[in-house]
């Protein structure tokens, strides 16, 4: 079986010894080899230059502030710059980038300044009509 596997992959695979049929018997050549471990090469991360074994890029579709795809490194948690493709943004910086790109400045949620909604402890206070005053 080892002859079938290409050499570049064979160097990364660690096989265990096949089990014997019983005490005093020779090992059976038809018993498949037992794969113990796969050795993955360490490669430098594109964004942080650390040596990593399993770097994954996650793609997530975001809808705020505008619809876009976010690419994020699983090791350093940096997001890709949409214009250059380099991993230099955090999630907040990427959101700010899209806000500035599409002129989506934050507007105040309460422009009048008056408190909105029910006043505190509104359920326990009696109802007062403005006309009864």
Write out pLDDT tens, residues 85-117. 888 899 999 988 888 888 765 666 666 766 666
Query: What's the pLDDT at 85?
Result: 87
Determine how many CB atoms are found less than 10 A away from the CB of residue 22: 7
CA separation for the pair 6, 33 (Å, rounded): 16
Q: Is residue 85 left, alpha or beta, with left meaning phi > 0 and alpha meaning psi from -120 to 50?
A: left
Query: Could you tell me the residue ranges of all domains in the chain?
Result: 7-38, 43-101
| Stated pTM of the model | 0.50
Counting as low any pLDDT under 50, the low residues of the chain are none
The neighbouring-strand residues paired with 52 are: 43
Query: What's the pLDDT at 59?
Result: 92
């Amino acid at each position: 079986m080892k002859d079938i596997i290409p050499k570049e992959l064979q160097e990364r695979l660690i096989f265990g010894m096949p089990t014997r049929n019983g005490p005093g018997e020779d090992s059976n050549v038809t018993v498949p080899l037992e794969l113990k471990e796969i050795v993955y090469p360490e490669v430098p991360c594109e964004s942080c230059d650390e040596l990593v074994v399993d770097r994954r890029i996650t793609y997530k579709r975001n809808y705020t502030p505008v619809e876009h795809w976010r690419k994020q490194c699983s090791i350093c948690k940096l997001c890709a710059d949409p214009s250059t493709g380099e991993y230099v943004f955090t999630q907040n910086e990427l959101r700010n980038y899209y806000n500035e790109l599409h002129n989506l400045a934050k507007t105040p949620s309460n422009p009048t300044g008056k408190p909105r909604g029910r006043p505190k402890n509104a359920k326990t206070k009696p109802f007062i009509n403005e006309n009864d005053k």
